[in-house]
Amino acid sequence: MTPSAPELAGRTALVTGAGQGIGEAVARALAACGAQVVAVDREAAGVKELADDYPGGQVVARELDVTLGPAVDELVDEVERVIGPLDILVNVAGVMRPAPVVELTDADWAETFAVNATGVFHTSRAAARHMSGRRGGCIVTVGSNAAGVPRSSMAAYAASKAAATMFTKCLGLELARSQVRCNVVSPGSTDTAMQRQLWSEDAEASERRVIDGDPEAYRVGIPLGRIAAPADVAEAVVFLVSDRARHITMHDLYVDGGATLRA
């Protein structure tokens, strides 16, 4: 590879939840850096539209429900066989079912964990089986700063993201001697459909409350004074899967504008 070649040229990446929001931004950012991207989502329309923007086939779309272990194994095997050795996995697929705990249904709790935690297990296990044998690869899980800070009406989401975060770190420890790096990117409030479902009809006022904070909900604001764009999170992912981060593993990188006031 010449110095002028794209940073991720020659590498194959699988991105879950790529039909919109952060997942779409990650897929586009990886493609911009030269990677061959397999964009998956359980809603086929979004990833198909994404792939259509790359007529040369640099981004290919596949429909996948990450909660189904055998389907995940089958897709990863197909990628390895048809497209190329999987170098990068980015777990972005996620759902949120906001509700106070006393009103949270069994179904919403189970669905949240099935996608946000068990889905990460399925995809990471399938990828790790191939990566470890080749002694190389990168896995990044997009978690949430809610995994480390209690949030009202977000118990299921926060708990599932905490589970996915610790799972990814444990996997990183197990795979370290195989030179497979596993890291987490934890966004705060990001301008996505998931974020906007928490807002009232007045989007401008809702955004201002997120930035300024809400003492009644025991929530600080965002010191940098802005809500993240999906591309902000995608840039952190690209760094962690690149050779610039070759000595970083089991790390949790918060991308939240300082909202959690982490020491």
* Three state DSSP letters for the chain: CCCCCCCCCCCEEEEECCCCHHHHHHHHHHHHCCCEEEEEECCHHHHHHHHHCCCCCCEEEEECCCCCHHHHHHHHHHHHHHHCCEEEEEECCCCCCCCCHHHCCHHHHHHHHHHHHHHHHHHHHHHHHHHHHHCCEEEEEECCHHHCCCCCCCHHHHHHHHHHHHHHHHHHHHHHHHCEEEEEEEECCECCHHHHCCCCCCHHHHHHHHHHCEHHHCECCCCCCCCECHHHHHHHHHHHHCHHHCCCCCCEEEECCCCCCCC
Query: Is 54 a known active-site residue?
Result: no
User: Within 13 A of 50's CA, how many CA atoms are on the CB side?
Assistant: 33
- Catalytic residues, by residue number, are 157
